[in-house]
Amino acid sequence: MSADTYDYVVVGAGSAGCVVANRLSANPSVRVCLIEGGGSDSSVRVKVPAGILSLYGNPNYDYRYVGVPQPHLNNRRIPVNRGKALGGSSSINSMVYIRGAASDYDEWARLGCAGWGYEDVLPVFKKLERNRLGQNQHYHGTDGELLVDNPRDPNILSKMFVKAGRNADLPSNDDFNAASQLGLGIYNVTQDRGQRFSSYSAFIRPVLDRKNLTVLSECEVLDLVISEGRVTGLRTLRNGERKTINVNREIVLSAGAINSPKILMESGIGEAEALRQQGIEPIIDLPGVGKNLQDHVDGMITVRSSSAKTLGLSVANLPRMLAAPYQYFVNRKGMLTTNYVEAGGFARTKYAGELPDVQFHFVPGYRSHRGKLVEYGHGYAIHTCVLRPKSVGEIKLTTDGSRRDVLIDHRFFSDERDAAVLVEGIRIARSIFASPEFDGVRGEEMLPGKNVRSDDEILAYLRAEALTVYHPVGTCKMGTDAMSVVDPQTLKVNGVEGLRVADASVMPTLIGGNTNAPSMMIGERAARMILNTPH
């Protein structure tokens, strides 16, 4: 058998792909290749939680996508950070372990994805999880590969934030993955003794000695080889060399909500007329590819404070900064343990039904009002996002004449209901900050600013400043309607054999929370489907 031929090829060593490759390669009689476009995750800036500030926008770890101008956000182009390293986005994210609400998955089942209801997926989440917190075992697992823990050394302001929730009638919540998401709390994180624990750390690094598993990093997938309705391989570019990798059984696309539809469209799978306009001969007319893009649109409140209790770059904080490396590498304590969004939670606006419709990510340090990654001084901030947006966008191909790229169009606020929810979310966030808990560290609200008070003024601020919390999903959705891309029972791409998609792109709707853990669950489900397929 050729060294460039495998039984299974998994594209994308991210949250889902690492799970798929682990499970498939557990059978020593099959050869598995895991392909990642990025490089090593061994840098200290990846391992140390506080290093996240050096990852966003860094071309060594981030694809650095930028969306198209958004008409409802003052024609601004929104950054779309996606992980480009072993571990994918789980190597650059904030490590928050959230699954979403039970009803999110029941909604998937209602939309035609039988077998994806909450009672179906909960055992999968539990199998993957190694919970170190002693949380309710009805909801949590203790024997899985994925470590789930509390932050090692939360900042005092993170704890103040949780107590301040009482000012907005928000209870303390120590487990957002149990019966209810409502309330504020310290987030559970995917860390191992204060060190980032990515999907690669959990599922691939421990099995690298498997002789039947090959990991190819810094390897770009150009397109798929399709013959007589079946995928037989893929074309790659690595170290300047183009090579075809053949597959005997199946290819699994786990390249994420941006790159999985891109690879499909590059391969002639997508809306036929749009492909022809890009000079691509359609092989399978599948109009849903790239459609149904959903993401969490986010607004921020940032406050300047003179208190050195907060994280910050200052002369007053110099002793703590100088001590931080020693504290971290000896005791796994101190400033370097922070993931910057140590606390957060969920609330209901006046537009919500039973479920929370906004999520908070609290930062116990100053978020620059000028958009800088790091700014001198102290403060604190809160991000508020719309949990279940109604605005739906799409991803399309474009070309500069030499090679193709993607156009990412979120269409944020194209549905006015999202704007209304986020305005109310900002009001709730302000009521948390108004709590007496913050009196000792209170400072000037820099954004939106104390004079921004009415709904129209807050909305104008959001149009000028809102971004995303980087949870794109839905662009290869599973379902049974005409716009579905994959079959819910198999995750096979409709109309072609030997090809599945297993990542956040298959979500029919965006779950209410962070998407790292749900993507791993999808990877586990996909692997079970493959292993149950006769070959």
Say how far apart CA 368 and CA 377 lie, in whole Å: 9
The verdict on whether 296 is a catalytic residue reads no
Q: What does the CA dihedral 208, 209, 210, 211 come to, rounded to 10 degrees?
A: 120
Which amino acid type is present at position 430?
R
The set of residues, in sequence order, having a beta carbon less than 8 Å from that of 103 and lying 6+ positions away, is 118, 355
Say how far apart CA 150 and CA 132 lie, in whole Å: 8
Q: Which of 361, 378, 471, 535 is catalytic?
A: 471
Read out DSSP for 250-305? EEEE-SHHHHHHHHHHHTTEE-HHHHHHTT---SEE-TTTT--BB--EEEEEEEEE
- 221: annotated binding-site residue? yes
- 131: annotated binding-site residue? no
Structure tokens of 215?
């990991």
What's CA 371's distance to the chain center, in Å? Answer: 21
- 335: annotated binding-site residue? no
- Backbone dihedral region for residue 158 (phi beyond 0: left; psi -120 to 50: alpha; all else: beta): alpha
Say how far apart CA 275 and CA 265 lie, in whole Å: 7
- 95: annotated binding-site residue? yes
Asked whether 155 and 343 are in contact (CB, 8 A), the reply is no
Residue count of the chain: 535
Place of tokens 């900050």: 433
Of 9, 124, 16, 108, give the one whose Cα is nearest residue 484: 108
DSSP state letter for 207: G
- 252: annotated binding-site residue? no
Peptide bond into 356 cis (omega under 30): no
What's CA 357's distance to the chain center, in Å? Answer: 18
| 243, 381, 453 from 463: Cα distances, Å | 45, 19, 15
The set of residues, in sequence order, having a beta carbon less than 8 Å from that of 495 and lying 6+ positions away, is 229, 269, 284, 286
The set of residues, in sequence order, having a beta carbon less than 8 Å from that of 379 and lying 6+ positions away, is 302, 303, 304, 305, 310, 312, 365, 366, 367, 443, 446
Structure tokens of 152?
């090692």
The set of residues, in sequence order, having a beta carbon less than 8 Å from that of 532 and lying 6+ positions away, is none
Say how far apart CA 149 and CA 11 lie, in whole Å: 29
Catalytic site positions: 471
Annotated binding-site positions: 93-96, 221
